[in-house]
Structure 1
Amino acid sequence: MAYQTLRQEYLQIPIVTRAYTTACVVTTAAVQLEIITPFQLYFNPDLIFSKFQIWRLITNFLFFGPVGFNFLFNMIFLYRYCRMLEEGSFRGRTADFIFMFLFGGTLMTLFGLFVSLVFLGQAFTIMLVYVWSRRNPYVRMNFFGLLNFEAPFLPWVLMGFSLLLGNSIIVDFLGIAVGHIYYFLEDVFPAQPGGSRWLRTPSILKALFDAPAEDANYNPLPEERPGGFPWGEGQRLGG
């Protein structure tokens, strides 16, 4: 019975969130069990282009370090905000969500060439948090019960928290920068006088991943509800 319940809960997670978080957990487990090592996963342009180890373009987004506080912290935020985006502003738009993954991952990889970063998963998480926060600007946040602020400040709070933990903020700043580029091109620039949409999801992704349109009267849950984690909990003003 417990297995069936867990399986049902797992299958209810949106497909992109489920695939990405599962890949991160499985990769970390494989490293913990010494099936593979981080040296086989990290971003190394020389090995990618000279030895054709193409998998490193993907695996460097899947490893967040050994199991510990940093890993759990990143997994909770990754799962929470990835799911809220997928069930909120990207509901019924799986292809667009995957395209955002590809766009963000490509930009981070290009920037990674210049800042010598070897793992980009944390930056990717910050990108997801940033996009969600800009699309929900009036949500009030509570961080660890200590800070109260509006959603757009959340990525900066996380960057400050990384600094307090002694981590480099370059990774967080990269995630914020890429998130802002996506948000500007997708949400801001098209609404400007003379603006247009520069980001267009390839038709092949839409054909592969987009389901038929849902009932127009369907009213989804507010974006801040899924996940059930108190870290970074949100509440709409006036709610």
Structure 2
Amino acid sequence: MAFQTLRNEYMNMPPVTRAYTTACVITTLAVQLELASPFQLYFNPILILKQGQVWRLITTFLFFGTFGFNFFFNMIFTYRYCRMLEEGSFRNRTADFVLMFLFGAVCMVGFAFFVNLLFLGQAFTIMLVYVWSRRNPFVGLNFFGLLNFQAPYLPWILLAFSVLLGNAVYVDLMGIAVGHIYYFLEDVFPNERGGCKILKTPNFLRTLFDVPPEDADYQRLPEDNPGGFEWGAQNDNQNEGENNQEQNDVNR
């Protein structure tokens, strides 16, 4: 029964959230079982550019460390806020959500070429949290039952908590910076006077991820569209023919 409940909950997850969190868990599990090594996963510009190890551009976002408090803490926040974004402001806009993923990843990889960062998953989580918090500014939150605050303060509280855990401060700062860039380009600048929408989702992403709207007239049955066969016009023509026949009979 518990397995069935867990399976149903997993299948009910929106597709992008399910794919990303599954990839993170599988990657971490592979390292835990020694099927892969963190040295094969971390971001290394030299190995990417000179040896063509392009998979590092992806795996750097998937590994959150071995199983432990830090891993579960990050995965809970990743799952929670990724899902709330996908089911909230990105509802029925999967292609736009994928574009946000790609935009955030490209920006972070660009920063990582100049900053010594090995894994970018935590920064990516903070980006998701930041975008959600700015789009839900009036939501009240509670942090471990100790602190009550409004949603926009959440990324900064997570930053302080991360520092207390001994993590590098610039990791979370990168996530906040990239999240703010996306928020400004998507939600602020287009609404400014003289502003315009800069981030436009390509058509191929919409073709891949968005469900096309159903054609209301597709395979509609005749009884669902009584006027489809012009019954009224047919009856009028038939009545007109009968009237002409009667007039001919009278003239005879």
Answer whether TM exceeds 0.5 for this pair. Answer: yes
Partner residue, 2:131: 131
CA distance in 2, matches of 1:212, 1:165: 46
- How does the TM-score come out when normalised to structure 1? 0.88
Query: Alpha-carbon deviations, 1:161-192, whole Å to 9, x = none?
Result: 01111111110000000000000000000000
Partner residue, 1:190: 190
Partner residue, 1:15: 15
- 1:63 counterpart SS class: coil
In the TM superposition, 1:112-123 aligns within 5 A as 112-123=112-123
For the Cα contact (< 8 Å) 1:92–1:213, is it kept in 2? no
CA distance in 2, matches of 1:6, 1:166: 33
CA distance in 1, matches of 2:171, 2:152: 18
- 1:148 counterpart SS class: strand
Structure with the greater relative contact order (CA < 8 A, sep ≥ 6): 1 or 2?
Answer: 1
Percent identity, aligned pairs only, is: 71
CA distance in 2, matches of 1:145, 1:203: 45
Task: Mark the structure with the bigger radius of gyration.
Answer: 2
In the TM superposition, 1:102-121 aligns within 5 A as 102-121=102-121
Cα drift, residue 6 of structure 1: 2.6
Q: How many residues align?
A: 214
Q: Is 1:164 paired with 2:168?
A: no
CA distance in 2, matches of 1:213, 1:124: 32
Query: Alpha-carbon deviations, 1:33-64, whole Å to 9, x = none?
Result: 00000000000010001110010000000000
Q: Which runs of 4 or more aligned residues in structure 1 lie more than 6 Å from their structure 2 counterparts after TM superposition?
A: none
- How does the TM-score come out when normalised to structure 2? 0.83
Partner residue, 1:26: 26
For the Cα contact (< 8 Å) 1:62–1:121, is it kept in 2? yes
Runs (5+) with no aligned partner, structure 2? 215-252
Runs (5+) with no aligned partner, structure 1? 215-239
CA distance in 2, matches of 1:3, 1:81: 24
Q: Give, as a single letter, the amino acid of the residue that structure 2 aligns with 1:135.
A: R
More helix per residue: 1 or 2?
2
CA distance in 2, matches of 1:17, 1:65: 19
* RMSD over aligned Cα atoms: 1.1
